[in-house]
Every structure is written in C-alpha cells, then in structure tokens.
Amino acid sequence: MPERLCPRKLLCSECEYTAVCGLGEIASWLSRLGKLRREKNPEPDLLFELFSAASADFQCPQCGHQGLAVSVVKPSGDEDWGMARKCEVCGRPIPPERLEIFPKTTVCMACKQGEEHGPPQEELPFCPKCGALMKTQTARAEITRYVYRCTECGHS
C-alpha cells in the first residue's frame, strides 16, 4: 500500500492516548472541526492532507488537551504472517506464483493486462441472419434515433 494511503495514528502528548484512523475516522475528526464540507466522497489524498494540517486543532477525547500528533501507520507486512499481498488496483489477492516470479509487483495479472491493453473495446455487432457487419444508421422518425442495420441483407 502506498504510504500516502496508509492509515494515520493520533497521539496525545499529555495522556498517551492513541488512535489509528482510517478514512472514515479521518472524515469524522475533520467534520467535527468543520473542516469538511458535506461532499459525499472526498478524495483520500485530500482527506489525509487536511487531517495532517488540522492536527493542532484536534482535542484529546480523554484529557481534553488540544494539539495531537499525527503519524503514518506503515503496513505490517501481511505477507510475513501468511496473508497474500493485495493488488493496489482491484484489492484482490495477488497469486503466490506471480509473486515468486515478480516479488516486487503490486498489481495482479488481470489489472496489469488491463493497463497494457487499455480499456476494453466495444464488440462489433454482426447480423443475426447473415453474419455480415452491421452499421449504425439514423431511423426515419420525428425524433432522431440510431439503429444497427445490416450492410448485406438490411436486417435491423
């Protein structure tokens, strides 16, 4: 997981209060301070940046001390505990065979192929009667409408 997307840890210097905050908790802390608008899904990078900038305004829930320290919680290395590394794109586990060949990879094979080949291409429509390629044409009506029409037999 990239460091910029890792959870953050809050620490109070007075009472040793600590809390590990993911995106939901970060949004909650920022909302309580009025630093977050009612946007449905703010970008994670924006949330993490605002969270770090607003740390001096956070108040400890245990002792009331204002000004909490924020640090990045590094991933624990789940692979060391027998858990598979997850793909950064889709979140699915990366197969161990792929990790043996490419130990530093961070994406699964499906996502890697998607990056190389670009977005999926739309399939070309073929006529169900004769199998010829169909073309898009405008239909004759008051409202412009597009239909597929066979170039050979005229089937639509």
DSSP annotation string for 13-32: TTT--EEEE-HHHHHHHHHH
Q: Which two tokens stand for residue 111?
A: 């996502």
Read off the pLDDT of residues 28-82 as tens digits, 9 standing for 90 and up. 888 888 887 766 677 888 888 888 899 889 989 889 888 888 888 776 554 445 5
Note whether 15 and 63 are within 8 A (CB).
yes
By three-state DSSP, how is residue 128 classified? Answer: coil
Side chain identity at residue 85, one-letter code? R
Mean pLDDT of the chain: 79
In the numeric block, the tokens 């190389």 are attached to 116
Question: Span 97-122, mean pLDDT?
Answer: 76
Could you tell me the pLDDT band of residue 124, with boundaries at 50, 70 and 90?
A: low
Cα(69)–Cα(50) distance, integer angstroms:
14
Alpha helices in 55-104 (DSSP H): 96-101
3-state class (DSSP) for residue 143: coil
pLDDT above 70 covers a percentage of the chain that reads 80
